[in-house]
């Protein structure tokens, strides 16, 4: 029996596919699911056989339809705060995972679902996916990073429009405003996400990891400090066998064979 009640996991030749699996509740995130996510992120961090992670939702209708409203509705202030701290910690951990994480958004990405996909590195969405932050319809603010990651992705004005109105947008609009990075027909979503994963896996793994850190850290720094950080990261590459191999392969007009060392 799987050690996870609400997640499915498959390692497809180095691509770790995590599927949120509560289809009856449109994959809404209850506390148990968030705790399982916490656990699997730790496992993925340690598992060298997983090179790239894909997160998706089970079924055709929904990626994640938000936090579980049924479970959340009777929380008091302290319980709500603890729930927020738990989930924020998990989303931050996912964002900081030292491997690329692709969201394959197969349907509704609402509230905590949109916040989950925003905590991933790259977002590939089904043309049938729908996005929104409906929290203000429930009398709450987003609490899993939505008020912070959304403006960083789509700009302040567009973020406020989505947050204040709670309007749902379709995949084409999400792509237009930069909320997702790639679209695919619904039946080709996983193929598209895996193709992207394979391309990333063919590149220098340390360089990819350092790019992730440089973007994530730099975006929250002033430009001068961020460029300085980029210098440090760039210099570090020259301590790796991958840099030697990448440049040697170029000179020898062959494909590089990276070891991640």
CA dist., res. 134 & res. 87, Å (int)? 18
When binding is defined by CB under 6 A, the residue of 20, 28, 158, 174 that contacts ligand DAK is 28
245 as an active site residue: the answer is no
Select from 34-42, 50-58, 76-84, 219-227 the region that touches ligand DAK (CB under 6 A).
76-84
Q: Does 118 bind ligand DAK (CB under 6 A)?
A: no
Distance CA 207, CA 241 (A): 11
Neighbours of 81 (CB within 10 A): 12
CA-wise closest residue to 19 among 35, 1, 5:
5
H or E element: which one contains 63?
strand 62-64
Min dist CB 144 to ligand DAK, Å, is 6
Stretch in the footprint of ligand DAK (CB under 6 A) among 12-20, 79-87, 196-204, 245-253: 79-87
Draw the binding track, 140-169, toward ligand DAK (x: CB under 6 A; -: no contact).
Answer: x-xxx-------------------------
In the bound state with ligand DAK, the residue whose beta carbon lies nearer, of 4 and 91, is 91
Q: Does 57 bind ligand DAK (CB under 6 A)?
A: no
- Integer Cα distance of 178 and 204 in angstroms: 26
Q: Rule CB under 6 A: is residue 59 a binding residue for ligand DAK?
A: no
Among 32, 45, 69, 186, interactor with ligand DAK by CB under 6 A:
69
33 binds ligand DAK (CB under 6 A): no
Q: Would you count residue 68 as binding ligand DAK (CB under 6 A)?
A: yes
Count of residues that bind ligand DAK according to CB under 6 A: 23
Nearest in space to 63 (alpha carbons), one of 96, 92, 100, 22: 22
Give me the helices (H) in the chain, please. 31-46, 69-72, 77-96, 112-118, 146-154, 156-165, 171-177, 189-201, 205-218, 223-237, 241-251
What are the structure tokens assigned to 83, written together? 């729930």
* CB distance 218 to 226 below 8 Å: yes
Rounded Cα distance between 250 and 261, Å, is 18
Minimum Å distance from CB 167 to ligand DAK?
12
- Name the catalytic one among 115, 224, 232, 252: 115
Spell out, one character per residue from 94 to 113, where the chain touches ligand DAK: x when CB under 6 A holds, - when not.
--------------x-xxx-
The nearer residue to ligand DAK, 107 or 204, going by C-beta atoms, is 107
Q: Could you say which of 3, 60, 135, 245 is catalytic?
A: 135
Indicate the residue among 9 and 108 with the shorter CB distance to ligand DAK. Answer: 108
| Backbone torsions φ then ψ of 64, nearest 5 degrees | -150, 120
Six-digit token pair at 165? 């109105």
127 annotated active-site: no
What sign results for the dihedral spanned by CA atoms 260, 241, 98, 213? negative
Structure tokens at 86: 């738990």
Binding site for ligand DAK (CB under 6 A): 25-26, 28, 65-70, 80, 83-84, 108, 110-112, 134-135, 138, 140, 142-144
Catalytic sites, residue numbers: 115, 135
């Amino acid at each position: 029996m799987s050690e996870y009640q609400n997640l499915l996991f498959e390692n497809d030749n180095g691509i770790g596919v995590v599927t949120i699996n509560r289809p009856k509740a449109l994959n809404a995130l209850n506390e148990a699911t968030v705790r399982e996510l916490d656990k699997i992120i730790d496992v993925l961090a340690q598992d060298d056989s997983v090179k790239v992670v894909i997160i998706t939702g089970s079924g055709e209708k929904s990626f994640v339809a938000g936090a579980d409203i049924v479970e959340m509705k009777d929380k008091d202030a302290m319980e709500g705060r603890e729930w927020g701290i738990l989930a924020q910690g998990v989303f931050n951990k996912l964002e900081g995972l030292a491997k690329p994480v692709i969201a394959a958004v197969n349907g509704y990405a609402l509230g905590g679902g949109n916040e989950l996909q925003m905590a991933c590195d790259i977002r590939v969405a089904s043309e049938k996916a729908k996005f929104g932050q409906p929290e203000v319809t429930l009398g709450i603010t987003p609490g899993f990073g939505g008020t912070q990651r959304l403006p960083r992705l789509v700009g302040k004005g567009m973020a406020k429009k989505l947050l204040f109105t709670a309007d749902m947008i379709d995949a084409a609009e999400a792509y237009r405003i930069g909320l997702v990075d790639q679209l695919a027909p619904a039946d080709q979503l996983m193929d598209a996400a895996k193709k992207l994963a394979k391309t990333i896996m063919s590149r220098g793994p340390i360089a990819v990891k350092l790019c992730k850190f440089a973007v994530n850290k730099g975006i929250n720094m002033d430009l001068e400090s961020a460029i300085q950080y980029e210098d440090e990261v760039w210099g570090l590459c020259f301590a790796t066998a991958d840099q030697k191999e990448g440049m040697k392969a170029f000179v020898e007009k062959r494909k590089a064979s990276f070891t991640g060392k």
